[in-house]
Amino acid sequence: MATQQVRSSVRSSDTVVVRLFGAWMVIVAFVFTQFVEFTILEGGSLDLSLQKAVGLVVFPVAFTLMGYIRISLLLISLACLMLLANSAAYVVNFSFLDPELLSANVSVLSGLFGATALYTALTHWEGGFSVLGRVWAAFAVVTSIIVVGQTFGLVPLWAVPGEELGYRITEVGGLIRGTGLRLDPNYQAFVLVLGLVFTRFYTARMKSVFALIIALGVVGTFSRMGLLAAFFVWITAPAFETLVRRKGWSITFLKPLVTVATLGLLLGGFHTLIPQSVQLYSEQRISDVSEAISYLAAGPSTTPLTGTTSAENRMLLFIGALTIFFQNGVFGVGANKTDDFMNAIIGIPASVHNTYLEWLVVGGLLGVLTVVFYIAFIVRVLRQSSQAEKDASRKCFVLTFLFAFGLMAWFLTLNYNSIMWLPLVIALAHGKLST
């Protein structure tokens, strides 16, 4: 009898280990796909990326190891709404099998699959958030080292095709915008800023060192969005912590002020130490933004925007997006069609570089509904979890993460990327663990 109990205990222990390994596989694979971007097979609009290949191979195996799948009707509902928003304009034009539409909808379905896998893994045990945080921080540190090496020409831009290398060289100083193992330096800055959030809440040792390395990685991308987001995230995180822990309004405002003063001194000292070429290019990037802001503040002007700077390009894209939406407000223009419409209106073949506006342009009224549903989804889950004060630290992380993601979504098009599901999964898993 005793022998049978021992064998049963061993089998139970082995099952737990196997299931934890499956959850680890999901988390590592998901983070990997956010930091690494390569195309395995090229087929026009239906390219097979490394991210999709990893999901197709790793997630089914991980589900098998974990032994179950946790389904969320909210995630499925949002996926259905996204499919409708992508497809409305194509359905109206009877283009049901357009490769652009198929590619976008495959991305939605693969994103839902990955989100379901990550949701299952994060709610498998209480340590899921900690594992996600430490793995993301580790990838961010390694990537930042690569980015800094690329900035000074010590490491090649592995993920950038030869014909696009010229676009990664700065106008001043001949520096290189580091991209890590991705194509877009702005997206790389995005995941690095999220790495700062994870580092703050889930790195116990060498937190300041890791944060500094990641911050240097953000600098190496020369992404204004990344630098501003990193600054705002770092000063608002203490405010979220004091609010959640109810330490009083005076401390809530005092901590960000102290953080701003400290960061100001550090940035001032850092600016004097960096090479002059980096200083010149940084000053030029800031000057572009200030000129664009001055243009807006001046009100209606007879001087048209030329799009000669990236800041002016962003303003033109914003104006173009609103124009396209008002012209196609019912059904939108359809998934992956923004570039064509934008080129026809403002002469720039590009996406909106704003996730919220991109949905409006793509889906029209259904796009508006998608954005509303997305935000309402997160608010509902957070309201439900606020009734249970089970883990204040995790709640501080969730609020900081959502703030960072929501802020940077104003400057990036994330509609066709699996990372767009991450805030939903984070909020949903937090709500599940809090009940």
Which tens digit of pLDDT belongs to each residue from 87-98? 999 999 999 889
* Largest distance between two CA atoms of the chain: 91
Q: What is the pLDDT of residue 387?
A: 61
pLDDT at 295 over 60: no
For 345-387, how does the pLDDT look when each residue is reduced to its tens digit (9 = 90+)?
988 888 999 999 999 999 999 999 999 999 999 998 888 876 6
Cα–Cα distance, 41 to 326 (Å, whole number):
37
Which residue bears the tokens 């090479």? 275
DSSP state, residue 415: T
Identify the three-state secondary structure at position 333: coil
H helix intervals, 245-297: 249-273, 276-297
Q: Which of 9-18, 51-60, 131-140 is the least confident region?
A: 9-18
| Distance, CA of 28 to CA of 25 (rounded, Å) | 5
pLDDT digit string, tens, across residues 298-337: 554 545 555 556 777 888 899 899 999 999 999 999 999 9
Task: Report residue 20's pLDDT band, with 50, 70 and 90 as the boundaries.
Answer: very high
Q: Which residues contact 266 (CB under 8 A, 6 or more apart)?
A: none
34 pLDDT exceeds 70? yes
Q: Comparing C-alpha atoms, which of 84, 104, 108, 72 is closest to residue 425?
A: 72
- CA 232 to centroid of chain Cα atoms: 16
Full-model pTM:
0.87
Please provide residue 216's backbone torsions phi and psi, each rounded to the nearest 5 degrees.
-65, -35
pLDDT tier, 10 (very low <50, low <70, confident <90, very high otherwise):
very low
Please tell me which residue, 188 or 251, carries the higher pLDDT value: 188
**Residue 5: what pLDDT?**
46
Q: What are phi and psi of 349, to 5 degrees?
A: -80, 85
**What is the pLDDT, as a whole number, of residue 418?**
92
